[in-house]
Amino acid sequence: MIDFEEELKKFKPSLEIDRTEDAVLEQEENDMVDLMIELMSEYRTNQ
C-alpha cells in the first residue's frame, strides 16, 4: 500500500530556468579522480 505522505516527501521542486546560473555556480562536484589525487597526496605526505 502506498503511504501518501511518505511518497509526497520524495517529490522535490524542479529547478526553474532563471535559477540555472545560480545552480551552476553552487555546484560542487567531487569525482573519483579528485579522491584519487587526494589519496596520492596524503600518501606522499606520509612518506
Residues that bind another protein (CB under 8 A): 1-2, 4, 7-8, 10-11, 13-21, 23-24, 27, 29-34, 36-37
CB of 45 to another protein, least distance (A): 16
Find all residues with CB under 8 Å of 23, minimum gap 6, and list them: 15
> 502506498: which residue's cell?
2
Cβ 7 to another protein shortest distance, Å: 6
Shortest distance, position 9 Cβ to another protein, whole Å: 9
